[in-house]
Amino acid sequence: MSDRIHITTAIFYCNGAPHVGSAYEALAADVFARAMRRRHGADHVSFLSGTDEHGDKIRRAALAEALAPKAYTDKMSALFRDVFAGLNTTFDYWVRTTDAGHEKFVQEMLTRTNQRGDIYFRDYEGLYCVDCERFYTEKELLPGNVCPAHNRPVELISEGNYFLRIDKYRDEVRKKIESDELRIRPVRYKNEALNMLAEPLADLCISRPKTRLDWGIEIPFDNRYVAYVWYDAFWAYVSAPAARLGLDEFMAGAWPHTEHFIGKDILKTHAVYWPPILLAAGLPLPRHLNVHGWLNFGGSRMSKSSGNVRDPLYYETVFGPDVLRYFVMREVVYGLDGDFSEERLIERYNADLANDLGNLTSRVLAMTQRYLGGALTACATAAGGDDQDRTLAQALHGLAGRVSDLAAELAFNRALEAIWQSLDAANKYVAATAPFTLAKDPAKLPRVGAILANLIEALRVIADTLEPFMPVTSGKILALLNVDAATAHQPFGEGIKPGHKVNPPVALFPRIEKPQSA
């Protein structure tokens, strides 16, 4: 089995600016991607994100700004990319569904699926609101078949469209989900998906007549139509790697080990529509749907329309790099809804980052300068030493492996708890061994040297293990410790050697005394 992994975020529909909710998904996927690179090797992991740029809502958003759709999506896609870059995400692919290569690929998939026989044309009759430019079911309408958005009666119209046979694949998809061949996690979403697949499915309409909407990818076998925006966007997971590696090679390698990170609101499209779209094209399914909940802010869901959200980069600017990333990974259980509050973020910042991590780093580096002139005089004692030394070594022993396993299971909050237990052990070790007291007696300087060697090693292992969750901070601490990448990854006790010089401290997380104002 190939151990290559393909990791994706959802392809972001860019009819509004990215918010903390979109950032959460990108950050969770990035933590996972970084953790998997450490686990399997960087060249075994590809990480993909991008923007979904077709469809009516984009066309309307562009119109509202008096821009052509492409000019509008040029601007919006760049905005998403810049915000995610500012959050230190490490995408290998940034796909735009308006990229020429993507459009060509979608047309190839349509041709391929059509030739395999799973696309058909039929007239469709439905209740249509001209202002919404969409069909409604009777259930969605107000009494008298009135559009709930426009408060006007809808029209009964008939139009021909292309449909994909998806019910044909329902049993196969259900079995793959049941057996975890397509694993949906957490398991509550697996059960939801199985419920959605329990009843026959209406075939999926995959076209829109150009008379109604021309902002899309033309159907290659009928130039009167464009592809439905969801059909088009799914293929963004595949088009760019297929262009780089060749479709067959990508499908035989990383694709069956794909990890999709998606919000619970798009579980249906990914569990019910996407698998038949792949099967109808003769392609294998991804391995995991990793479904996350919503971030709530002041009691309601954070979203583009709710107006309760800030630019994610606000938190980078005001609190510093990694703080937003740390906060959402620590506070939110992946898969469940989480609460986002700036008050809580500041509490976490002061307690976890300023106190536990920042203070420990400063104190240890300051003592190393003061008592040892910055150069270590002893080896860390992985096994030997006294009871206090052994307690510290035990807390650090196997930390990297535990954190990696927890990250692989999407338990990001527990991975951080494990790191913070080690930090806690290191802070207790400082208090228990009291090197600042021992140092007053010159005869005890060798013991002070041993204590600081243990603490420097502890900091090294913690900083290294922290990398997926706090990449900038991890890099800063390792630079203060003056260690290279190879040394950084060593187990506790096998990294820094006597004679090694570390740098003087700098303040990593200055305490925030008052809540920041907007």
Q: Footprint of Zn ion on this chain (CB under 5 A)?
A: 129, 131-132, 147, 149-150
- Pick the closer one to Zn ion by CB: 54 or 134: 134
Bridge partners, 290 (sequence order): 185, 261
- Pick the closer one to Zn ion by CB: 155 or 171: 155
CB of residue 155 to Zn ion, shortest distance in Å: 11
Count of C-beta atoms within a 10 Å radius of residue 283:
18
CB of residue 57 to Zn ion, shortest distance in Å: 13
Residue 289 sits at the vertex; the CA angle it makes with 287 and 291, to the nearest 5 degrees, is: 160
- Pick the closer one to Zn ion by CB: 128 or 215: 128
- Pick the closer one to Zn ion by CB: 151 or 223: 151
Looking at residue 255, its amino acid is W
CB of residue 144 to Zn ion, shortest distance in Å: 14
Bridge partners, 292 (sequence order): 263
CB of residue 128 to Zn ion, shortest distance in Å: 9
Task: Compute CA distances 492 → 11, 23, 250, 391, 450, whole Å.
Answer: 40, 34, 38, 13, 14
- How do strand 207-209 and strand 225-227 relate by DSSP bridges? antiparallel
- Pick the closer one to Zn ion by CB: 208 or 325: 208
Residue 222 sits at the vertex; the CA angle it makes with 216 and 228, to the nearest 5 degrees, is: 30
CB of residue 102 to Zn ion, shortest distance in Å: 31
- Pick the closer one to Zn ion by CB: 153 or 491: 153
From 22, 3, 409, select the one nearest 185 (Cα to Cα).
Answer: 409
| Own/partner pairs, 130-136, CB within 8 angstroms, 24+ separation | 130/155, 133/56, 133/212, 133/213, 134/56
CB of residue 150 to Zn ion, shortest distance in Å: 4
- Pick the closer one to Zn ion by CB: 150 or 188: 150
CB of residue 212 to Zn ion, shortest distance in Å: 14
The DSSP element (H or E) to which 395 belongs, if any, is helix 387-396
* Three-state DSSP class for residue 116: helix
